[in-house]
Amino acid sequence: MITIAKQKELVAAAMNVRGEAWAPYSQFRVGAALLTADGEIITGVNMESSSYGLSVCAERNTIACAVAKGKREFTAMAVVSRGGVTPCGACRQVIYDLCGNIDIVLADETGAIKDTTTTQELLPFAFGDKDLG
């Protein structure tokens, strides 16, 4: 598990970007911050569409930003939302596929850490390369 200081730093980064979320329909703004293996913090937000199925969660947007920057190794992610909810199933799978078993810090809109977990704990029976053979 990453240090408490690093957890707080990730939460602060996710909180700072959360206000930029595009959530005109649900008003459910989410910010995420991803820690790369080389220590960079990359952030992202959720983005809703009037065609709800086309909306993209903060976690997946953040990972996409990291990949676009050439990052491929990750250590932890913080997710800040109203109530400190866990990532949805689609995000859990993408986190597993692209980040592996990383630490996940969940915080509410005040920045209070509600839980710390891992990808493996959130998605214990993940679909992966082993299932494609």
**CA gap 18, 64 in Å, rounded:** 17
Task: Please answer whether residues 44 and 61 qualify as being in contact, where contact means their C-beta atoms are separated by less than 8 angstroms.
Answer: yes
Structural tokens at position 79? 């997710």
CA-based angle 95:37:89, to the nearest 5? Answer: 10
- Residue identified by tokens 């690093």 is 6
The span from the CA of 125 to the CA of 43, in Å, is 27
Residue 61, token pair as written in the block: 């947007």
Taking CA 131 as the corner, what is the angle to CA 1 and CA 120, rounded to the nearest 5 degrees? 15
Residues assigned a catalytic role: 59
